[in-house]
Amino acid sequence: MNEPVAFYQVDAFADRPFAGNPAAVCLYETWLPDDLMQAIAAENNLSETAFVVPEGDDWGLRWFTPTTEVDLCGHATLAAAAVILEDVDPEASHVLFLTPSGPLGVGRDEGRYALDFPSIPPLPLDGEPSAALLEGLRATPATVLDAGPSLLAVFDRAADVAALDPDFVRLRDLGSHSVIATAPGEGPDVDFVSRFFGPNVGVDEDPVTGSAHCTLAPYWGDRLDRKKLHARQISARGGTLVVEDRGARVTIWGHAVIVIRGELFV
């Protein structure tokens, strides 16, 4: 039997267990083969499994869904930071991850964690929204924009986003694209709401998607003419985020709760 390694499950963008988005975090001394990391992520069957290895004074970080590796993930980065800053190096105030999307910093900030992520502002869509998008969402957004790996579907009301019941088989016809659905918030404490659908990366609906807010922060910051905003992802589990558009970068604040500490024998 292999020597055990530290394994965690963390509820990210939540201040209590069983809310937000659960991510697995695996701490290794060196990188495993890609196919083994993918197999572990499939075994965990969470929207993301984070693999963390030491790289000098910093940490290497990669993310896998049950079916594929992704280039950027917010909630699993937050989960990995909570593990490092709570268990591995509790005296530290900041951690730097070296990732496929470049260096990503996470620091403590008044009881929460602050993530420093790239800004991915949306651009006008080239052409009309596809039938795969409209039929997949089973609804017609007011606007559709191009956000690189995602399509941003903007609706008029939060209730429109909450009511979405996608056809995930049809959404797979979007190829590499995932879908961020968003609308203005309703109430003084929520500036905008969202949901995230990614059947092409093995996650039909992600409970809380930090990386989507790399697009949502500049979009709503420009539309509402404010840099710092309060967001709510209105999935079944739900999650609360605070975001700030800083030009080329976005700050995303959230809580995280470690719910499982264990050992992985792989």
> Is residue 129 domain-shared with residue 71, that is, in the same domain?
no
Among 233, 17, 243, residue whose Cα is nearest residue 114? 243
Model pLDDT for residues 99-121, shown as the tens digit of each residue: 999 999 999 999 999 999 999 99
Q: How does DSSP assign 110-156, residue by residue?
A: TTEEEEEEE----EE-SSSPPHHHHHHHTS--SEEEEETTEEEEE-S
Average pLDDT over residues 123-150: 96
Average pLDDT over residues 179-194: 95
Residue 236 three-state SS:
coil
Q: Is 244 a catalytic residue?
A: no
Task: Output DSSP code: residue 176.
Answer: T
> Is residue 240 domain-shared with residue 156, that is, in the same domain?
yes
Whether the Cβ atoms of residue 164 and residue 194 lie closer than 8 Å to each other: no
Q: Is the pLDDT of residue 210 over 90?
A: yes
> Is residue 9 domain-shared with residue 98, that is, in the same domain?
yes
Residue listed under structure tokens 């197999």: 39
Could you list the residue range(s) of the whole structural domain that residue 12 is in? 5-118+253-264
> What is the distance between the alpha carbons of residues 180 and 192, in angstroms, rounded to a whole number?
12
Whether the Cβ atoms of residue 28 and residue 5 lie closer than 8 Å to each other: yes
Task: Note the residue count of the chain.
Answer: 266
pLDDT of amino acid 219: 98
Residue 108 three-state SS:
strand
pLDDT of amino acid 249: 98
pLDDT of amino acid 188: 83
For residue 248, give Cα distances in angstroms to 196, 217, 226.
23, 11, 16
Q: Is the pLDDT of residue 176 over 90?
A: no
> Is residue 39 domain-shared with residue 114, that is, in the same domain?
yes
Q: Does the model's pTM come out above 0.85?
A: yes
Find the Cα–Cα–Cα–Cα dihedral 223, 254, 97, 95, rounded to 10°: 130
Catalytic residue among 3, 29, 43, 48: 48
- Secondary structure E strands in the chain: 5-12, 21-27, 49-55, 58-64, 69-70, 94-99, 102-109, 112-118, 123-124, 143-147, 150-154, 178-184, 192-198, 203-206, 228-233, 239-245, 249-254, 256-264
pLDDT of amino acid 58: 98
> Is residue 260 domain-shared with residue 240, that is, in the same domain?
no
Q: Is the pLDDT of residue 254 over 70?
A: yes
What CATH number is attached to the domain comprising 238? 3.10.310.10
Domains held by the chain: number = 2
Residue 186 three-state SS:
coil
> Is residue 65 domain-shared with residue 110, that is, in the same domain?
yes
pLDDT of amino acid 101: 97
pLDDT confidence bin for 206, thresholds 50/70/90: very high
Residue 41 class from Cβ within 10 Å (0-12 exposed, 13-18 middle, 19+ buried)? buried
Average pLDDT over residues 186-200: 94
Model pLDDT for residues 73-82, shown as the tens digit of each residue: 999 999 999 9
> Is residue 130 domain-shared with residue 197, that is, in the same domain?
yes
Q: Is the pLDDT of residue 216 over 60?
A: yes
> Is residue 215 domain-shared with residue 186, that is, in the same domain?
yes
More confident residue, 96 or 1: 96
Model pLDDT for residues 10-38, shown as the tens digit of each residue: 999 999 999 999 999 999 999 999 999 99
> Is residue 45 domain-shared with residue 77, that is, in the same domain?
yes
Model pLDDT for residues 47-94, shown as the tens digit of each residue: 999 999 999 999 999 999 999 999 999 999 999 999 999 999 999 999
Q: Is the pLDDT of residue 186 over 90?
A: no
pLDDT of amino acid 1: 55
Q: Is the pLDDT of residue 255 over 60?
A: yes
> What is the distance between the alpha carbons of residues 202 and 181, in angstroms, rounded to a whole number?
18
